[in-house]
Amino acid sequence: EHVQTDVMIAQGGLFRTPVIGQQVLANALNIPITVMSTAGEGGPWGMAVLAAYAQRQTGENLEDFLDQEVFKNPESMTLSPEPAGVAGYQEFIKNYQAGLPVEAAAGEAISD
């Protein structure tokens, strides 16, 4: 799709441990990764935010609520890709792709 972005925001339990998963993801995707303080509880926290929004009944749209209330001053940290890590992932993908024909041939040999 040739989508370009300046930064990605990551969520999920992996990000309960600071820095490690975030740096791995930044290197793998070769893009800065932002993790908010709530990233490790993304699902439950997100549902609580939606419940708070629904309870307000102010007519305010969700986008404005998120921008003006929830993410007004988020506690977050952004890590940029490290050149050595990016190179390592590029080499891994190159080797992985080179092995795909071998995997396909093995699957064909097993099914025969």
Environment class of 57 (CB within 10 Å of its CB; exposed 0-12, middle 13-18, buried 19+) = exposed
pTM reported for the whole predicted model: 0.73
Two structure tokens written together for 38: 């709530």
Mean pLDDT, range 26-47, rounded to an integer: 88
Say yes or no to pLDDT of 112 above 80. Answer: no
CA distance from start to end of the chain: 37
- As a whole number of angstroms, the distance between CA 25 and CA 29 comes to 6
Task: Give residue-wise pLDDT tens across range 54-96.
Answer: 998 888 899 999 888 888 888 899 999 999 999 999 999 999 9
- The mean predicted confidence, pLDDT, of the chain is 90
- As a whole number of angstroms, the distance between CA 37 and CA 68 comes to 18
